Structure 1
Amino acid sequence: MKIKQLCVLTLATTLWGCSKQILNSNITQQLQTKAIEFKMPKIQEPIIPNNTVNITDFGAINGGFELNTQAFADAIETVSKKGGGKVIIPPGIWLTGPIILKSNIELHAQAGALIKFSSDKSLYPIIETSFEGLNTWRCISPIYGKNLENVAFTGKGIWDGSGEAWRLVKKEKLTASQWKKFIESGGVLNDKKDVWYPSEQYRIGNQNADQNVRHDLKTKEEFEAIHDFLRPVLVSIQNSKRVLFDGPVFQNSPAWCLHPFLVEDLIIRNTTVRNPWFSQNGDGLDVESCKNVLIENSSFDVGDDAICVKSGKDKDGRDRGVPCENIIIRNNVVYHGHGGVTVGSEMSGGIKNLHVSNCTFIGTDVGLRFKSTRGRGGIVENIFISDIWMIDIPSQAISFDLYYGGKSIAETLAEGGNTISTAMVPVNEETPQFKDISIKNIYINGAQQAVFLQGLPEMNLKNIEISGLTAKADKGFSIIDANGLKLNNINLDIKNSTVLDIYNSKNISIKNTDFNSASTKAINIKGESCKNIELISTEKTNLSQRTFIDKTVQENAVKM
C-alpha cells in the first residue's frame, strides 16, 4: 500500500512539475509574443548568398602578434566579387586594423575566436561622420560600413576594440593597482594627477571639448592635430538596410560599442555587449535615426547608457530630420550602466513608436531614462513600456529630465540634485517635447528614488500614464511641470515621510495608490500653476488626511 501511495505521489509530483514547466513556458511565450501597440512592419533579415571563405585562406596568422588587416580585406573582397557570402573567423586570436564592410557579407566569428583590434592609432584615419549626434570628424571605426545592404554578424566569437588605448581614465573609478597599471603603461596625467590620458595629443584635444566633440575646429587639418582624441565607436554602420547582429560578444570599445545610424531593418538578438564600468562614454548600443528595429534576448554590462535610442543633436539633428521609429526592445538584461533603456538626450529628429517589455535591470544607475534639454527640439511620442524588473538602482529607477546637462544622474545627485526652475522661455523649434507615454507593470526593489518626472515650464511632460507599479525606495515620486499624468494601481514602500511631491503640474489623476507613510505631508502639492489635481483615496489609504496643499496653490486646484 505504501509503495502504491508513493507511486501516486511521485506521479502527482511529476505531473505538477511538468504543469509548472508548461505554465512558466506559456508565461515566457506570452511575454515574448506580447502584442505591439502600434503598426509594426515586418523587419526584413539580411539575405546572404551561399559562398563561404575562411580568413586563413588569405594568410591570416593566429596568435595576436601579426596584423591581419589585409587577410580580412581580401576575404571580404573575394566573396563580394561572387555577390556576397560568409567570412569565417575560426578559433584563435586575430589581430587586425579596421575592417571595411561590403554589402551581402556575413562575418561569422566561431566560438573561441577573439578579434582584437590594433591599438596603433595611425591605422585609423579620420573621416567625416556623426558622433554624439553631431556632424564632425572622427577616427574611422574598427568595424565600418556605409551605404550597404545585407550585413550580418554571427557566431559566438568576441570582437574587442582595445578601448584601453583610446580612453581617458579617472583615478576615482579605479583601484590602486589598476591606476598604477595605467600610469606604468605610458600616457600623461592632468595637473591634479587624478585623470590619465593615453597621450599628450589626447590631453590637448580634450581641453576645449564639449561632451567629446570639438565645436571650435572646422577643417580636417585642425582635427588631424588631435587625432588621438578622436576615439571612434567600435561598430559604425551608416545609411544601410537589413543589418543583423546574432550571437557575438562586442566589448572594450574606444567609445560607444554599437552605433547603427540611419539603418532600416535592424535586428540585434542573442548578443552580448560589455565595456569596463569605468569607460568614458562606454555606451552599449546607440540606435540613431533608425527605422524598424528589434533588440531582444541580449545582455549589456557597460560604462554608460546601455540601450539608447537617439535621432541627432540640436541643429544637425533637426536639419537631418530623420526620427528613430518602430522599435521593439524586449527580453534583455542590463547589468552596470548609466541607464537600462535610455531615450535621448540626442532626440532632435524625434522618436516615435517604441515598445519596451520584459527587461531586467540589475544595479544600473537608472532603469528607464528619458533626457533632453532646451536647444534640442524634437518630439518623443507613442512610447509603451511594460513588465520591467529592477533591483538595487543607486539613483532614479524611472527618470524624465528635461534639464539634462551631460552628467550621469549619480553625478548630478552628488552635486546637489536636479535643477528646478520656474523660468519660461518661448516655445520654438528648439523646444523638446515628451508626450503620450504608457508605463505599466514595473517592479522596483531598491532605489534612491522610484520616479522622477520633470518637464519644462513652457513645455510640460504630457499624457504620461503609470500603472501597476510596485516600488521599494528611499524616495517616491517627484512630479514637476507635468500635464495629464495618470497614476493607477501604485504600491509604494518609501523611507521618506513625503511620498509624492507635486510641483506646478496640472490635470493629474492619482487613484488606487497605497503607501506606507502616515505623514500629513505624504503628498506635498505646491506651485501656482497647479490645476485640476484629483486624489482618490483607497480603503487602505485616506489621501485627504495625508496631503499638504501649499499656500501657493490656487483654491479648488485639488479635488479629493
Structure 2
Amino acid sequence: MKHGGVPNAVTSFVAVLVFLQCSCLSAEVVTCSGIVPMVYRNDKISITDFGGVGDGRTSNTKAFREAIYRIDHLRRRGGTLLYIPPGVYLTESFNLTSRMTLYLARGAVIKATQDTANWPLVAPLPSYGRGRERPGGRYMSFIHGDGLHDVIITGENGTIDGQGDVWWNMWRRRTLQFTRPNLVEFKDSRGIIISNVIFKNSPFWNIHPVYCSNVVIRYVTILAPADSPNTDGIDPDSSSHVCIEDSYISTGDDLVAVKSGWDEYGIAYGRPSNDITIRRITGSSPFAGIAVGSETSGGVTNVLAEHITLYNSGIGIHLKTNIGRGGIIRNITVSDVFMENMRKGIKIAGDVGDHPDENYNPNALPVMKHIRIKNVWGEKVLQAGVIQGLKNSPFTDICLANINLRGSSGPRNVPWKCSDVSGGASQVSPSPCAELISRSQTGACSIPF
C-alpha cells in the first residue's frame, strides 16, 4: 500500500471499539453505546487518493470535495471510510454526506483556512430567525452536514483545528458581517457518532447538532483559550436522544449547553430538546460547566447530567432563560458533581440572555419546574447559589439534596440568593434560602430523591 493509504489498523478499529464498549458494560459502567451503533465500512479510501497533501500549506479543498463526491455518488454498500493519514491538511469548509466515516489517524490535522472573505454563507436557522450574532445569514460551519444519516467522525485522536483567532479578532473589533462559523454542525440529521477526535480553536461553537436525533459524542477533547468568545463546547439544539460522555472540554464559554431556539422564532418553530444525557465530563470555563439555555423557546425536557468534574470556572450548574423566551424547562437532573475554584456553584435564573430583535413577546414567559440537583461537592466556591425566578412565572419544584459548597477559606461563602422560587432542600450547606427550606417536606418536592 502506498504511503498515506488506508492502513490495516483502520480495518480492525471498529471491532476494537465495540470490544471496549462491551468491556465497559460488563464492568457496569453506563454508556451511550446503544443509541447509535458503530458501523464497519468495507469500502475505504484515503484523502491522498484524491491529491491530498499534508504539508500544512497546500490547499486540500478540492481533494476533500472530490473524495466526498465519490462517496456520495458511488454509494457503496455499507458506506465508505475516508482516511486522513498523519499530516496537516489545510482546507476550506466542506460538506459531509450520509453513510460515511471521516477517520483521522494519530498525527492527522484537518486545519481550516483563514480566508474569511471567501467563506460560504448559509441561511439562518428558522428557530433563531437570524444569525446568532449578526442579522441575516451565517457562515457555514467548517465541517457541515445537512439532512444526513449514518455519519461518523472518529479516529486515533487526530485534530480538527478551526484556526479561530482571526474570527475572534473580527468579533472583538466588531467587524463581523455575519455570524461566525461553528467548527462542526449537523442539521436535520440522525445517527451521528463523534468520538476519539480533538477539536480546537473553533471560530464559534464547537459541536452543534441542531434539529437532530440519535447523536453520540464521546471520548472527545475540545480546546479553546479561556478568552476566546462564545466557543461553547457542545450545544445540542432542538435535538433529541443525544448522549455526551467521557470527554474533556476547556473553552471560552459553556462546556455543554442545551438549547432549543430563540424567542418568537423558537416558539414558532416549536422543536424541543429532549432526552439529553451528559456524563463523565471534565473541564473548565470562565462561564458555565453544565448549562441549559439561555435559548430555550422550544422547550427543554428530560436532561440528565451526572459525574461532572469542574474547576477554575465561572458557574458550575447554570439553568438560564428570559422573558420573551416562552418554552418549558422541566425534568432536569444534575447529580454527582465536584467543582473547585468557582465563582458560583449553582445558578438558576430567568433574566439571562439577549433578544434577536424588538419583536419578542414580553408576555411569553418561560416555565421552569421539576429541577433536581443532588450530590454536589464544591471547594473554593465564592457564592453557593442564586435562584431567581420571574414574578409572573415563579420557578417551582426546585429540589436540592446533599450539596456542600465550601468557600475559599473554609465552609463560609456568600449566602444563597433567591426570589420567586419554591421547592425543597435537604442536607444543603451553606443553608439555602428560606423559600426552599420551608417547603422541604411537601409532596411537591420529594426529598430525598
TM-score relative to the length of structure 2: 0.84
Q: Following superposition of structure 1 onto structure 2, how do residues 277-292 of structure 1 map, counting pairs within 5 Å?
A: 277-292=226-241
Q: Following superposition of structure 1 onto structure 2, how do residues 24-43 of structure 1 map, counting pairs within 5 Å?
A: 32-33=29-30, 43=35
Show the counterpart of 1:159.
Answer: 160
Question: Is the contact made by 1:161 and 1:234 (CA closer than 8 Å) also made in structure 2?
Answer: yes
- Residue 406 of structure 1: how far off its partner (Å): 4.9
Tell me the distance in 2 between the aligned counterparts of 1:245 and 1:74.
Answer: 22
Aligned to 2:50, which of 49, 58, 76? 58
Show the counterpart of 2:104.
Answer: 109
Aligned to 2:392, which of 454, 458, 461? 458
- Residue 103 of structure 1: how far off its partner (Å): 0.3
1:143 and 2:92 matched: no
- Residue 355 of structure 1: how far off its partner (Å): 0.7
Question: Is the contact made by 2:126 and 2:265 (CA closer than 8 Å) also made in structure 1?
Answer: no
- Residue 73 of structure 1: how far off its partner (Å): 1.3
Aligned to 1:433, which of 352, 367, 389? 367
Show the counterpart of 1:82.
Answer: 75
Question: Is the contact made by 1:52 and 1:79 (CA closer than 8 Å) also made in structure 2?
Answer: no
Question: Is the contact made by 2:100 and 2:151 (CA closer than 8 Å) also made in structure 1?
Answer: yes
1:397 and 2:345 matched: yes
Q: Following superposition of structure 1 onto structure 2, how do residues 3-402 of structure 1 map, counting pairs within 5 Å?
A: 32-33=29-30, 43-45=35-37, 47=39, 49-80=41-72, 81-83=74-76, 84-130=79-125, 133-136=128-131, 137-155=137-155, 156-168=157-169, 197=173, 203=175, 205=176, 226=177, 229-393=178-342, 395-402=343-350
The amino acid that maps onto 1:397 is G
Tell me the distance in 1 between the aligned counterparts of 2:252 and 2:87.
Answer: 27
List, as ranges, runs of 4+ consecutive aligned residues in structure 1 with deviation greater than 4 Å: 499-502
Paired residues, number? 402
What are the superposed Cα offsets for residues 234-274 of structure 1, whole Å, 9 maximum, x if unpaired? 11110001011110011111111111101110000000111
Tell me the distance in 2 between the aligned counterparts of 1:244 and 1:129.
Answer: 25
Tell me the distance in 2 between the aligned counterparts of 1:356 and 1:500.
Answer: 22
1:445 and 2:394 matched: no
- Residue 120 of structure 1: how far off its partner (Å): 0.6
Tell me the distance in 2 between the aligned counterparts of 1:132 and 1:279.
Answer: 25
The amino acid that maps onto 1:400 is I
Tell me the distance in 1 between the aligned counterparts of 2:150 and 2:182.
Answer: 21
- Residue 510 of structure 1: how far off its partner (Å): 4.8
Question: Is the contact made by 1:440 and 1:468 (CA closer than 8 Å) also made in structure 2?
Answer: yes
- Residue 335 of structure 1: how far off its partner (Å): 1.7
**Structure 2 residue ranges without an equivalent (≥5):** 1-22, 132-136, 356-360, 408-412, 443-449
- Residue 124 of structure 1: how far off its partner (Å): 1.4
Structure 2 CA distance for partners of 1:104 and 1:460, relative to 1, 3 Å? same
Show the counterpart of 2:439.
Answer: 509
Structure 2 CA distance for partners of 1:133 and 1:392, relative to 1, 3 Å? farther
Question: Is the contact made by 1:46 and 1:242 (CA closer than 8 Å) also made in structure 2?
Answer: no
What are the superposed Cα offsets for residues 42-93 of structure 1, whole Å, 9 maximum, x if unpaired? 5233545321001011101121111001111112222331332110101111
Identity among equivalent pairs (%): 31
Question: Is the contact made by 1:45 and 1:243 (CA closer than 8 Å) also made in structure 2?
Answer: no
Tell me the distance in 2 between the aligned counterparts of 1:107 and 1:58.
Answer: 15
Tell me the distance in 2 between the aligned counterparts of 1:130 and 1:165.
Answer: 24
- Residue 392 of structure 1: how far off its partner (Å): 0.4
The amino acid that maps onto 2:89 is W
The amino acid that maps onto 1:446 is K
Question: Is the contact made by 1:46 and 1:243 (CA closer than 8 Å) also made in structure 2?
Answer: no
1:471 and 2:417 matched: no
Q: Following superposition of structure 1 onto structure 2, how do residues 408-427 of structure 1 map, counting pairs within 5 Å?
A: none
Structure 2 CA distance for partners of 1:46 and 1:238, relative to 1, 3 Å? farther
Structure 2 CA distance for partners of 1:294 and 1:146, relative to 1, 3 Å? same
Tell me the distance in 2 between the aligned counterparts of 1:52 and 1:436.
Answer: 48
**Structure 1 residue ranges without an equivalent (≥5):** 1-24, 35-39, 170-194, 206-225, 408-425, 493-498, 512-530, 532-560
- Residue 506 of structure 1: how far off its partner (Å): 7.7
- Residue 139 of structure 1: how far off its partner (Å): 1.2
Tell me the distance in 2 between the aligned counterparts of 1:508 and 1:104.
Answer: 55
Structure 2 CA distance for partners of 1:507 and 1:451, relative to 1, 3 Å? closer
What are the superposed Cα offsets for residues 459-496 of structure 1, whole Å, 9 maximum, x if unpaired? 1111011001111022132221112x11101233xxxx
The amino acid that maps onto 2:378 is I
Tell me the distance in 2 between the aligned counterparts of 1:33 and 1:127.
Answer: 38
The amino acid that maps onto 2:273 is C
1:482 and 2:421 matched: yes
- Residue 132 of structure 1: how far off its partner (Å): 9.1
The amino acid that maps onto 2:118 is L
Tell me the distance in 1 between the aligned counterparts of 2:296 and 2:236.
Answer: 11
TM-score relative to the length of structure 1: 0.68
Show the counterpart of 2:11.
Answer: none
Question: Is the contact made by 1:467 and 1:488 (CA closer than 8 Å) also made in structure 2?
Answer: yes
Tell me the distance in 2 between the aligned counterparts of 1:475 and 1:122.
Answer: 48
State the secondary structure of the residue aligned to 2:125. strand
Show the counterpart of 1:22.
Answer: none
Question: Is the contact made by 1:125 and 1:140 (CA closer than 8 Å) also made in structure 2?
Answer: yes
Q: Based on CA coordinates, which of the two structures has the bigger radius of gyration?
A: 1
Question: Is the contact made by 1:51 and 1:79 (CA closer than 8 Å) also made in structure 2?
Answer: no
State the secondary structure of the residue aligned to 2:69. helix
The amino acid that maps onto 2:380 is G
Tell me the distance in 2 between the aligned counterparts of 1:235 and 1:251.
Answer: 11
Give the RMSD, CA atoms, in angstroms. Answer: 2.7
What are the superposed Cα offsets for residues 488-547 of structure 1, whole Å, 9 maximum, x if unpaired? 01233xxxxxx5444xx4883358xxxxxxxxxxxxxxxxxxx9xxxxxxxxxxxxxxxx
